[in-house]
Amino acid sequence: MQNRRQALGTIGTIGLGAFGVGFAVNPLTARNVFEVAMRNADPAAPSRRMVFTPDLLKVPAGSQVRFEAPEGAHNTQSTTGMLPNGAEGWRFGIRKSGTITLSQPGFYGYHCLPHRSVGMVGLIIVEGSGMMENLQAAKAVKHPAKAAQKWANLWERAEKLL
């Protein structure tokens, strides 16, 4: 019998595919709650190291995103300059899980502070009126080393969802 985390991981892996795009609603609640795991390696592609799974989400406004810390010394925090106007940033400590509510439509960039330079970053697209307003500002943010390469990939994948 699987525990909750294993069941959600299985559902996430099945629903996300190789590129980690998530759209599934958590079946354990009636609300729009999406889960992102902070991992040492992607279960669907073990050669992908230091990752959020999924690293790209598109969700309706008002959704919650739960960041889970099942392994490793990871955290999650919003990336400066990559939030819609009026949206609140977040920062969860190392090995700490947490939930955010995304009420403001737009593009939300985030990263793992200890592993940002190796590309442990992610993007949440919140649908709704005005969602495109912070797109150019978010794309203009400068990133270190491999994070810049990862952002180029995320933006390319995000464009296909718009």
Known binding residue 132? Answer is no
Known binding residue 111? Answer is no
Per-residue burial over 58-75, b = 16 or more CB atoms within 10 Å of its CB, e = otherwise:
bbebebbbbbbbbebebb
Rounded Cα distance between 42 and 52, Å, is 8
- Cβ-contact 135, 107 below 8 angstroms: yes
Rounded Cα distance between 115 and 74, Å, is 8
**H-assigned helices in 37-98:** none
Rounded Cα distance between 108 and 83, Å, is 5
Rounded Cα distance between 110 and 88, Å, is 12
Residue list for the binding site for Cu cation: 74, 112, 115, 120
> Which residues are known binding-site members?
74, 112, 115, 120
